Amino acid sequence: MGKKITIAIDGFSSTGKSTIAKLVAKKYNFIYVDTGAMYRAVALFAMEHNFIGEDFIDKAGLITKLKDITLSFHFNKEAGFAEMFLNQRNIEKEIRTLEVSQYVSRIATISEVRRKLVSEQQEMGKLGGIVMDGRDIGTVVFPEADLKLFMTASADKRATRRYKELIEKGDNVSYEDILFNVQERDRIDSTREDSPLVMADDAIEFDNSDMGITAQFNQICVLIDAIIL
């Protein structure tokens, strides 16, 4: 087996980062960490404790309760990936709703939240052999990553993909709401003061608007093989 490297995958919402990351982790036997799930878990906690709602956010209240949040991933053999747990509760399904998507970007602007999650992510990746996806992995979490990928696609393509996923799950959502959410998250994620979504100087950009998963995966494997073999 080759070297246990660190791979950072960043990019906009719904660009297929996690699909690629899971495939890479499986092929190379690396650990996959979905950092978006961690921000979603904190958003769910904030919703459940009334720290965020449609027209308010109680940042100070949430910050004092951050110490009560324990996040962990547990591998689900059947699903083939690790599911997100919040204080020992499996929340994998709950964090994928449009409602959580609508609050999560605002939660992710809070520096105290970022500091807590970034340090946990650095701990998980300290031995290498890791594929992590998010918004700030190549810039903040692992600036020394061996390989940095930056995924983009048109907002329409991304909203269409996300819409299909949610409809297949049986969620009652409209395409317009999804498109608005994707664009709104791009805006908040790219303009926040702390660790905004930007491409690292040494990242390789993939625009997958018109590219299938297999083609992308094959190109990425060539890049990885060149590093580990």
Q: Note the residues at the interface with ligand DC (CB under 6 A).
A: 13, 35-36, 39-40, 104-105, 108, 134-137, 185, 189
Q: Which is nearer to ligand DC, 3 or 147 (CB)?
A: 147
What string of DSSP letters covers 184-225?
HHHHHHHH-SSS-----TT-EEEE-TT--HHHHHHHHHHHHH
Helices marked H in the chain: 17-28, 35-48, 59-65, 98-107, 111-124, 155-168, 175-191, 213-228
Q: Which is nearer to ligand DC, 38 or 224 (CB)?
A: 38
Q: CA 185 → CA 106, 139, 155, 206, distances in Å?
A: 9, 19, 11, 19
Q: Which is nearer to ligand DC, 104 or 200 (CB)?
A: 104
Q: Which is nearer to ligand DC, 125 or 134 (CB)?
A: 134
For residues 127 and 206, what is the distance between their CA atoms, to the nearest angstrom?
27
Shortest separation between residue 141's beta carbon and ligand DC, angstroms = 7
How far, in whole angstroms, is CA 84 from its chain's centroid? 12
For residues 203 and 21, what is the distance between their CA atoms, to the nearest angstrom?
15
Shortest separation between residue 20's beta carbon and ligand DC, angstroms = 12
Using alpha carbons, select from 130, 159, 170, 135 the residue that is nearest to residue 31: 130
Shortest separation between residue 225's beta carbon and ligand DC, angstroms = 26
> DSSP 3-state assignment of 89?
strand
Shortest separation between residue 113's beta carbon and ligand DC, angstroms = 9
Q: Which is nearer to ligand DC, 6 or 13 (CB)?
A: 13
Shortest separation between residue 4's beta carbon and ligand DC, angstroms = 21
- Number of other residues whose CB lies within 10 A of the CB of residue 199: 17
Q: CA 141 → CA 44, 82, 151, distances in Å?
A: 23, 20, 17
Shortest separation between residue 35's beta carbon and ligand DC, angstroms = 4
